[in-house]
Structure 1
Amino acid sequence: MNQTPVPGHGLHERFLTGLALSPGRTAIRVHATESLTYEQMHELAMRRAAALRAMAPQGPHNVAVLADKSLTAYVGIIAALYAGATVVPLNPRFPAERTRSMLIAANVSTVIADPIGRSSLAETELDLPVLDEGRTGPSLDTPVAVNPSDVAYVLFTSGSTGRPKGVPITHGANHHYFDLLDRRYDFSPDDVFCQNVGLNFDCAMFEMFCAWGNGAQVHPVPPAAHRDLPAFLAERKMTVWFSTPSGITFIRRMGGLTPGSMPTLRWTFFAGEALLHEDAADWHVAAPQSKIENLYGPTELTVTITGHRWSPKTTEEQTVNGGVPIGKVHPGHDHLLLDDDGESAVEGELCVAGPQMTPGYLDGDDNRGRFLEHAGRRWYRTGDRVRRLDDDELIYLGRMDAQVQIQGFRVELAEVDHVVRQCTGVQNAATVTRPAPNGGLELVLYYTGERIPSATLRRELAAHLPDPMVPKTFRHVPEFPLNSNRKVDRAQLAREAAALSDGRA
């Protein structure tokens, strides 16, 4: 669909807004000695955008940002957007085979990489040009104008076929999303945002572009900071925190949730997993000045599509099995709950239609079963079972299928099974979850065939799967238990996994 460029609708224009608000103030601080102001970051990005355009003179292209949380990555994201390109953020520490498949699926023509990313790219054996950051040359006169229907970025999620699924998200979807957030929250140039999640995780877009659209600072959080989070937040004067709920358990174990230990926080956001009321209450005690929101949304609906403002007075009455509601669907969207009879007013699979929805997966074959034609509209099927509460808020009850969240990472259990079955000596595999010692979930693998040392299996899987998708425990069984339908009884395996007291990695 051809559209005319609409000023203000490009994702990169949020950075230009920040530039106008805070030209000489910090835009990104990676380490104590590595930071850039909005002006400095803009100038670097404009020069690198010109270099990207020179490398692809035929017009917009797909640019992979294969880098850790470095200045290379953050400047590279803005540079690619300035160049009118589609950004493809990738984790340089993923297995080479997985990175290779994503680079090919996204039809990447150019790579922005730091030293770790260059090493990762070399392992893929793909001959792709890498932007030379030291190259001097002209700068763009102005960022390239984009259409609302142009794709701003592509993110990859776990796929049941044994390969990741590419999800394109348009500039128009992002414009609707961030415009809504600007109206919902009171962010300002005085805020300091954490950048906690991986750049290949959609919540990173929230962290970066909420901050940059308001002239605020972005501070990546090093892993070691979680061991004494209050000290890190105090040193950085952090005001906005974003993480998966499972992080609360670790911070509690490190002694970081004492009363008033995080006084600088104004806003706290949790997403990626179910949030327990007890955990939110403990966080509130530690950060009494912070409003807490539980956000929900699959990548296909542009970061988050609902939000619930946690309240120490009212939220507990709305909980189900201790879980906090996910809130109401964003304005401008319609939703329905799909049950076995076709539609329900109370409980079922959440389906959403509206401007934040992806136009479809990179591979059209992945669209099957994920979209619904209903009442003359196209809806995205989230695969999540939700219940409508009396106040019209929604609460998450669980997955309709076998997809789970591990450390905020979407995992299709079928994908893990598929990769395990490729291991030498394995006949069949069934992956289930159990509660992890530090909160959240962990994977337990049951397999048939030859008995294989756990270290051997773990090493082989680590070459093909990201760390959150590698099971923590491996159990060899002569055969799988079957249910009354003669299918593998995963519920029984999950119960056994939860009862295990030995064999933990």
Structure 2
Amino acid sequence: MLIHQALDERAAEYGGHIALIDDNGPVTYSQLVSTADSYAAALVEAGVGPGCLVPVRITRSARMVTLLLAVLKTGAAYCPIDVKWPDERVRELLRLLRAPLFITDTPLAGAPCWTPPATPAPGPGPVLVDIGPDDPACVFFTSGSTGTPKGVVTPHRAVLRLFDSGPLAAFAPGRVLPQLAPVGWDACGLELWGMLSRGGTVVLPDEEHLLPDTLRELVERHGVNTLVLVASVVNLLVRLDPDCFGGIDLMFIGGERLAPEPVRTLLLSHPDTTVHNCYGPVESFAFATMHPIRPEDCDRPHGVPIGRPVPGTEVHLIDGELCVAGAGLAQGYLHDPERTAERFVTVDVQGVPTRVYRTGDRAERDAEGVLHFLGRADRQVKIRGYRVELGEVESHSADRAGVRDCVAVALPGRSGAYERLALAFTGEADPDRVRAELCERLPGHLVPDLVRRLDELPHNANGKVDHRAVTELLRVPAQERGRR
């Protein structure tokens, strides 16, 4: 099964049901599929087809979803581009994609842009293409430790494996979900194709941040009853107003390690809401494991468990490292066979050669077979749900004029989860200028919230930069450092 085939089936079954809701009103399944067919015919005329990787930069809307579906209907794969990413970053991604055209309402000078008409001319019918479930459906770019973003090539089977059974099979007619994840995340694909392949409804709010009043309005106005959220957003909503989750009976929380106390408050305030803790790298689309959270899970020594594998997924612990296998695995990293060979390896599992993705996460499995997350084996961090390779931040910062040595660190907030990105450097550069230049090159989640110049970076006994000492220095406001 292919993603667009699943939507065609839903349109045949639930043609008059509401698929999407945005500020322009509702869109039925029949309207969504029909318009996507027309756009797909125009894209084929423009040279798009199987084997193409098509970047799409359209504001979150029903139009955006229709164009993503249209790309899939041509047999090509789409790459979502966030409208907030700076042009320099977008140009870098277009180069990496070797894109035949760039679907966008905001043309980029020198790029092969295609601005879709507001109303596409009716096509001759669905485009017929010869591709299979192992062919690419989407490419998601994530932070790369070498300074170059990594494109994760995800096939159709990796997406659809999640929704035939298990907790996400609850996505169905009557389920209403707001699409809240940044469009460049695999979680956005989960929200869209999970609901739409099962006959549910997706609401596309234009608000950038989810606050209690926004959530209440979504519930009251559109009947939202399902949420997929990152832990930092849950922490914020619980802190501001734990009652705002009224009307929500199914939640999936992922993206970063859960803080026990906000989760406990959520569960006790809404005992009839089913809440799942979800874990998974983009290299195994969206979620690899899940755990239905109970209040007593908040008292476990390693925090809330990450649970058991989701459908179509296997998890193996190899020397304490969590390795994922199964139908959810990506094809690998775009045009990067060396990095692909390093992270996607074949290992022996009970005598069977098995392809796995080495996550770099440490975990353990308890006597009941439940997985517990123990931390990272490298410097990759999650900040507000974004995956950040500190090495990428350092690589771009080191290129700035007047920066001699630099180190990036993640700063924890009140819940203990990482909430801010910080950069310390030596040299004569002005910190504000360094940050401004990084804003011109990097997406917002890779730009340090705090940039500070130091006379020297602290080192440990081995002569290496002491990251823990740097973190402690940066946690203290500059005006207070002299008082300690």
Determine if contact 1:263/1:288 at 8 Å carries over to the other structure.
Answer: no
Give the match for residue 163 of structure 2: 178
Percentage identity across paired residues of the two chains: 30
Give the match for residue 389 of structure 1: 366
The 1:142/1:95 distance shift into structure 2, 3 A limit, reads closer
> Where does 1:400-419 land on structure 2 (aligned, <5 Å)?
400-419=377-396
Determine if contact 2:312/2:328 at 8 Å carries over to the other structure.
Answer: no
Output the CA distance in 2 between the equivalents of 1:442 and 1:63: 32
Give the letter for the 1:351 counterpart: C
The 1:332/1:243 distance shift into structure 2, 3 A limit, reads closer
> Where does 1:19-38 land on structure 2 (aligned, <5 Å)?
19-31=11-23, 33-38=24-29
Give the match for residue 238 of structure 2: 252
2:63 maps to 1:72: yes
The 1:156/1:475 distance shift into structure 2, 3 A limit, reads same
Output the CA distance in 1 between the equivalents of 2:155 and 2:298: 37
The 1:171/1:231 distance shift into structure 2, 3 A limit, reads closer
3-state SS of the aligned residue for 1:208?
Answer: helix
2:40 maps to 1:49: yes
> Where does 1:41-440 land on structure 2 (aligned, <5 Å)?
41-56=32-47, 59-114=50-105, 118-119=106-107, 121-122=108-109, 125-141=110-126, 144-181=129-166, 185-221=169-205, 222-223=207-208, 225-228=210-213, 229-254=215-240, 256-258=241-243, 261-312=244-295, 314-320=296-302, 323-338=303-318, 343=319, 348-362=320-334, 363-375=336-348, 376-436=353-413, 440=418
Report the Cα offset of residue 483 of structure 1: 1.6
The 1:197/1:51 distance shift into structure 2, 3 A limit, reads same
Report the Cα offset of residue 142 of structure 1: 5.2
Give the match for residue 449 of structure 1: 427
The 1:76/1:286 distance shift into structure 2, 3 A limit, reads farther
Give the letter for the 2:8 counterpart: L
Output the CA distance in 2 between the equivalents of 1:297 and 1:467: 22
The 1:290/1:13 distance shift into structure 2, 3 A limit, reads farther
Output the CA distance in 1 between the equivalents of 2:379 and 2:404: 20
In the TM superposition, what whole-angstrom CA distance separates every residue of 1:193-219 from its partner, at most 9, and x where no partner exists? 111101210011111112112211101
Report the Cα offset of residue 317 of structure 1: 4.7
Report the Cα offset of residue 275 of structure 1: 1.2
In the TM superposition, what whole-angstrom CA distance separates every residue of 1:107-143 from its partner, at most 9, and x where no partner exists? 22122223xxx24x33xx3234444444424243355
Report the Cα offset of residue 232 of structure 1: 3.1
Give the letter for the 2:355 counterpart: R
Report the Cα offset of residue 501 of structure 1: 7.3
Report the Cα offset of residue 184 of structure 1: 5.2
In the TM superposition, what whole-angstrom CA distance separates every residue of 1:216-265 from its partner, at most 9, and x where no partner exists? 110124235515123432222111111101012322343x213xx43321
TM-score (norm 1): 0.88
Output the CA distance in 2 between the equivalents of 1:75 and 1:57: 16
In the TM superposition, what whole-angstrom CA distance separates every residue of 1:59-105 from its partner, at most 9, and x where no partner exists? 55222111120222111011111111111111121011111111121
Of 64-73 and 54-63, more deviation after overlay is shown by: 54-63
Determine if contact 2:3/2:197 at 8 Å carries over to the other structure.
Answer: no
The 1:135/1:174 distance shift into structure 2, 3 A limit, reads closer
Determine if contact 2:62/2:204 at 8 Å carries over to the other structure.
Answer: no
Of 463-472 and 136-145, more deviation after overlay is shown by: 136-145
Give the letter for the 2:199 counterpart: G
Report the Cα offset of residue 377 of structure 1: 2.9
Give the letter for the 2:323 counterpart: C
Unmatched segments (≥5 aa) in structure 1: 1-8
The 1:143/1:319 distance shift into structure 2, 3 A limit, reads farther
Query: Which of 6, 13, 16 lines up with 1:14 in the alignment?
Result: 6
In the TM superposition, what whole-angstrom CA distance separates every residue of 1:162-197 from its partner, at most 9, and x where no partner exists? 11101001112223233244x754232111111110
The 1:111/1:132 distance shift into structure 2, 3 A limit, reads farther
Give the match for residue 6 of structure 1: none
Report the Cα offset of residue 272 of structure 1: 0.5
The 1:216/1:243 distance shift into structure 2, 3 A limit, reads same
In the TM superposition, what whole-angstrom CA distance separates every residue of 1:428-473 from its partner, at most 9, and x where no partner exists? 1100111236864211111011141x32122111001111111111
Determine if contact 1:21/1:214 at 8 Å carries over to the other structure.
Answer: no
Of 301-310 and 49-58, more deviation after overlay is shown by: 49-58
The 1:370/1:148 distance shift into structure 2, 3 A limit, reads same
CA RMSD in angstroms comes to 2.3
